[in-house]
Amino acid sequence: MADKETSADSPEETPNSTPGGNASSEVDLALNTISQRVQESLSLGKRHTFWETQPVGQFKDLGNTSLPEGPIEPPTPLSEVRQEPYNLPNQFEWVTCDMDSDDVCSEVYTLLSNNYVEDDENLFRFNYSKEFLRWALRPPGYFSSWHIGVRVKSSKKLVAFITGIPARIRVHDKIVTMAEVNFLCVHKKLRSKRLAPVMIKEVTRRVHLENIWQAAYTAGVVLPTPITSCQYWHRSLNPKKLIEVGFSQLGPRMTMSRTIKLYKLPDSTVTPGFRNMKFHDVPAVTRLIRSYLSQFKTAPEFDETDVEHWLLPKENVVDSYLVECPETHEITDFCSFYTLPSSILGNQTYPTLKAAYSYYNVSTKTPLLQLMNDALIVAKSKDYDVFNALDVMHNESFLRELKFGPGDGKLHYYLYNYRINQPLKPSELGLVLL
């Protein structure tokens, strides 16, 4: 159960109408090379000492279809689950972080904004807002005991954090109650203390106490063993700023003015009936989402309370739009994105990169290409600098045409204590983890 990869990569701006048009090999990598990366990992002598002790798919079992799919280990009787927290080094103590408390929420925000995921060049760092964190960590049925912090005993300073939230995730034809584990963060000065493994064990213990035995998580590194590996793609909305801060590069034989022209978008959306999602749309959107996600091999099992929480618009957190047929008033299409800015490190002119992340999109009547172009238009109108998307679900069908470029970032998806014998293609995954 680990943290995720930043999307703040540095894709090159390209001189043609399909950025990254010569990068098909990168897409092939994202689709087909879990085994190759595993071999590279093994050949470099890398060992995942902690993960080799955990009930997760192991590299040595890749391709062994005789192993049963499903839970790797059976549930333990609740009376036998460890009741006491795992031991921390003496100077530290466990705390449960009350995200309803403004003070605690501010502490968590400060820890993450100074110490969470950065890109490889240390130019950008995720900057989750307090509103975003409360949205992400308090879904229906959440357990406050899964919001776990580590403090220094003497100063009470919060120096580490990890979380879980409950979710129902369908894997093939089985609906499994899982924990989605996220926000594993250790203060930079304490990275040598080996806190991460004990934090993972502690969140696992607390999940087990609720009689939940599986989990889903993501990481930007290859661990034992991804169920799929996805690639980040980026669509410039403010190319001048992106180039000036080092997120993008000016393409060969390209001027700034030509680049700005290349990425220019219309001022208004083109789809009739395209509008903001409202509360009264929740039942119709739920039906649309559930029908759409049913075609993927792994996807969340949303009900109306989930849709209300995750998809009803919240300012600077999540935006959702739908298409309502002007004649019949039927809700036919849906698109959404969430807001995750990054701090721009060491830049006096631009402190923040405002990024939209593609979330769940459903096309039944409006072509997905047109629907997502409208999403880009509204994101641009709200002053986003870049629109990011993973090549999950049907996203690959619009990425090149809408001038997304492939980034350097890969995101690997994992299941804890649940085996899938055949890795999924990104297009077979219907799950977006924040």
In what side-by-side order are the strands of the sheet with 342-344?
124-126, 342-344, 352-353
How many C-alpha atoms does 251 have within 13 Å on its Cβ side?
22
The CATH number of the domain covering residues in 228-410: 3.40.630.170
> What residues contact residue 353 under an 8 Å CB cut-off, 6+ apart?
8, 124, 241, 242, 245, 247, 341, 342, 343, 344, 385, 386
Q: What is the pTM of this model?
A: 0.89
Q: How much is the pLDDT for 11?
A: 25
Range(s) for CATH 3.40.630.170 in the chain? 228-410
What is the CATH architecture of 36-219? 3-Layer(aba) Sandwich (3.40)
Contact 339, 354 (CB under 8 A): yes
> What residues contact residue 145 under an 8 Å CB cut-off, 6+ apart?
96, 206, 209
Per the annotation, the verdict on 434 as an active-site residue is yes
- Coil, strand, or helix at residue 285? helix
DSSP per residue, 363-379? ESSS-HHHHHHHHHHHH
CA 359, 229, 297 angle in degrees (round to 5)?
Answer: 65
**What is the crossing angle of helices 102-115 and 130-137, to 10°?**
100
pLDDT by residue for the chain (434 residues), tens digit each? 333 333 332 222 322 222 233 333 443 443 344 445 444 444 444 567 888 899 998 888 888 888 899 999 999 999 999 999 999 999 999 999 999 999 999 999 999 999 998 887 889 999 999 999 999 999 999 999 999 999 999 999 999 999 999 999 999 999 999 999 999 999 999 988 899 999 999 999 999 999 999 999 999 999 999 999 999 999 999 999 999 999 999 988 999 999 999 999 999 999 999 999 999 999 999 999 999 999 999 999 999 999 999 999 999 999 999 999 999 999 999 999 999 999 999 998 999 999 999 999 999 999 999 999 999 999 999 999 999 999 999 999 999 999 999 998 799 999 999 999 889 999 999 999 99
Q: How much is the pLDDT for 47?
A: 63
Spatial separation of the C-alpha atoms in residues 427 and 399, rounded to whole Å: 13
End-to-end CA distance of the chain: 14
Range(s) for CATH 3.40.630.30 in the chain? 36-219
* pLDDT, tens digit (0-9, with 9 covering 90-100), for 49-68: 888 899 998 888 888 888 89
Tokens 């993927």 locate to 296
